[in-house]
Amino acid sequence: MNPTTAGRRVLITGGTGSFGRTMTRRLLDRGVGEVRVLSRDEAKQDEMRRALGDARVSYHIGDVRDYDSVQRASRGVDFVFHAAALKQVPSCEFFPLEAVRTNVLGSANLIEAATRNGVRSVVVLSTDKAVQPINAMGLTKALMEKVAQAHARRGSGGTVVSCVRYGNVMCSRGSVIPLFVEQIRSGAMPTVTNPAMTRFLMSLADSVELVEHAFAHARPGDVFVRKAAACAIGDLVVALCQLFDVPAKYDVIGVRHGEKQHETLASREELARAEDFGDFYRVPVDARDLNYAAYVTEGTLGGRPAEDFTSANARRLTVPEIVALLRTLPEIRAELALREPVLTQ
Ligand SMILES: O=c1ccn([C@@H]2O[C@H](COP(=O)(O)OP(=O)(O)O[C@H]3O[C@H](CO)[C@H](O)[C@H](O)[C@H]3O)[C@@H](O)[C@H]2O)c(=O)[nH]1
């Protein structure tokens, strides 16, 4: 990625979020010409502006729901990382149309504007919840992927649009690890929905690496999936309790709206046509055209479908492995340093 973004102009939608801030720093380190941050919240932009203090970053207030916002923000841009989304599962359950507006229509706006503005590559951030979705967040992210793939099938006029699918990004805003840490810090019992529930775990650095991989290798309509490891939520909370040296106890509160027991990063149908990159899968778009006979009466011989790739059958992290992983996270290291400086040495 290094040689190609140097001196270039990059737009990050949802740029003040965890991903956006990390990606911006990375791009600045690599000599990017300009990073445009597009987001709705001026306070977060101001905070980011003061934290970075770099004139190569410009801040644009706007909303991907509004075509004019993304049209203006993507003008003259070489590459786009599309991270703007409604991504909290419970809130999307209550406001599904809001999720449609941001995740589906907003993404369609962005792809259209980027194509018209001659952007070379757009990487769209998706989630494991988009596979065999059961909640509004996952359903809208699945449709977002479909919009990206339909764009690829139409012939993209030089703009390569690809998707990456993450699992849970550890310590991202509003996610469970910061909540558990806060509960442990305040002496409250961690609240566990279901200890046997499993999730793929990724660090922010892993997620940025996946986007960079997509950026470097994408063909139109590709979906990139990292072969992430998973953990049981009960093990995650036990690992945190060990790390902070408190008794491993928690309250079981029951599953929230729209939650799955296990997540799926790639379906067996996708895996049957996926290309194995070692740490990643590349799932190419099904590029057959609308010649119905080809797949209604004639069909295509495909490979034998593999199993789905799920957080239940992925490599399961043990408690000591989760402890080791948590220790690598800057947020956890900072928290440990406050409590017991010796632990971080
Ligand atoms: O008080 C709580 C809250 C959550 N959980 C559990 O912890 C796990 C992780 O919950 P998060 O809220 O951190 O994450 P979700 O899996 O619900 O969804 C998250 O991961 C997604 C990717 O799969 C998206 O990134 C999404 O934006 C983000 O909220 C889940 O099994 C959940 O049931 C608890 O045990 N106790």
Give 113 Cα–ligand 1 centroid separation in angstroms: 32
> Where is pLDDT greater, at 312 or 290?
312
Q: Is 87 in the pocket of ligand 1 (CB under 6 A)?
A: yes
Q: Is 193 in the pocket of ligand 1 (CB under 6 A)?
A: yes
pLDDT confidence bin for 155, thresholds 50/70/90: confident
Q: Is 129 in the pocket of ligand 1 (CB under 6 A)?
A: yes
Identity of the amino acid at 149: Q
Give 176 Cα–ligand 1 centroid separation in angstroms: 6
Which atom of ligand 1 is found nearest the CA of 90? Answer: 17
Q: Which residues contact 238 (CB under 8 A, 6 or more apart)?
A: 248, 319
Identity of the amino acid at 289: D
pLDDT confidence bin for 296, thresholds 50/70/90: low
Q: Say how many C-beta atoms besides its own lie within 10 A of residue 271's C-beta.
A: 19
pLDDT number for residue 292: 64
Contact 24, 31 (CB under 8 A): no
The class (CATH top level) of 2-167+203-228+265-288 is: alpha beta
Residue 264 confidence (pLDDT) above 80? yes
Q: Is 233 in the pocket of ligand 1 (CB under 6 A)?
A: yes
pLDDT number for residue 290: 66
Strand, helix or coil for residue 100: helix
Contact 245, 180 (CB under 8 A): no
The mean pLDDT of 295-309, rounded to a whole number, is 68
Instruction: Give me the helix-helix angle, 319-327 and 330-339, nearest 10°.
Output: 90
Residue 1 confidence (pLDDT) above 60? no
Contact 25, 2 (CB under 8 A): no
% residues pLDDT > 70 (the chain): 92
CA distance 46 to 31: 22
Ligand 1 probe mutation, 199, 235, 260, 310, most atoms within 8 A of CB: 199
Give 124 Cα–ligand 1 centroid separation in angstroms: 21
Residue nearest to atom 14 of ligand 1 (CA): 175
Residue nearest to atom 1 of ligand 1 (CA): 191
Q: Is 283 in the pocket of ligand 1 (CB under 6 A)?
A: no
> CA torsion, points 281, 162, 10, 226, in degrees to nearest 10?
-20
Residue in 129, 141, 146, 249 annotated catalytic: 129
pLDDT confidence bin for 233, thresholds 50/70/90: very high
Query: Computed over its alpha carbons, how large is the radius of gyration of the chain?
Result: 21
Q: Is 199 in the pocket of ligand 1 (CB under 6 A)?
A: yes
Q: Which residues contact 23 (CB under 8 A, 6 or more apart)?
A: 12, 15, 81, 83, 208, 211
Give 6 Cα–ligand 1 centroid separation in angstroms: 36
Tell me the two tokens of residue 221.
């309509």
The mean pLDDT of 71-78, rounded to a whole number, is 98
Residue 314 confidence (pLDDT) above 60? yes
Residue 301 confidence (pLDDT) above 60? no
Contact 10, 35 (CB under 8 A): yes
Residue nearest to atom 6 of ligand 1 (CA): 193
Which atom of ligand 1 is found nearest the CA of 193? Answer: 35
Residue 151 confidence (pLDDT) above 70? yes
Tell me the two tokens of residue 185.
């810090």
Q: Is 127 in the pocket of ligand 1 (CB under 6 A)?
A: yes
Strand, helix or coil for residue 287: coil
Kindly report the average pLDDT of the chain as a whole number.
92
Q: ∠ CA(297), CA(300), CA(303), 5° rounding?
A: 145
Nearest to 233 by CA among 264, 183, 190, 195: 195
The mean pLDDT of 118-141, rounded to a whole number, is 97
Residue 341 confidence (pLDDT) above 60? no
Q: What is the ipTM of this complex?
A: 0.94
Q: Is 191 in the pocket of ligand 1 (CB under 6 A)?
A: yes
Position of tokens 């996610």?
175
pLDDT number for residue 157: 74
Residue 163: beta bridge partners? Answer: 124, 223
CA distance 127 to 160: 20
Q: Is 129 a catalytic residue?
A: yes
Burial code of 77-96, b = ≥16 C-beta within 10 A, e = fewer?
Answer: bbbbbbbbbbbebebbbeeb
pLDDT tens-digit map of 173-212: 889 999 999 999 999 999 999 999 999 999 999 999 999 9
pLDDT number for residue 3: 45
pLDDT tens-digit map of 99-114: 999 999 999 999 999 9
The mean pLDDT of 254-265, rounded to a whole number, is 94
pLDDT number for residue 31: 96
pLDDT number for residue 2: 44
Q: Is 232 in the pocket of ligand 1 (CB under 6 A)?
A: no
Give 192 Cα–ligand 1 centroid separation in angstroms: 10
pLDDT number for residue 147: 98
Length of the chain: 345
Residue 324 confidence (pLDDT) above 90? yes
Residue nearest to atom 32 of ligand 1 (CA): 193
Residue 84 confidence (pLDDT) above 60? yes
pLDDT tens-digit map of 49-74: 999 999 999 999 999 999 999 999 99
Residue 315 confidence (pLDDT) above 90? yes
Give 175 Cα–ligand 1 centroid separation in angstroms: 6
pLDDT number for residue 287: 73
Q: Is 91 in the pocket of ligand 1 (CB under 6 A)?
A: no
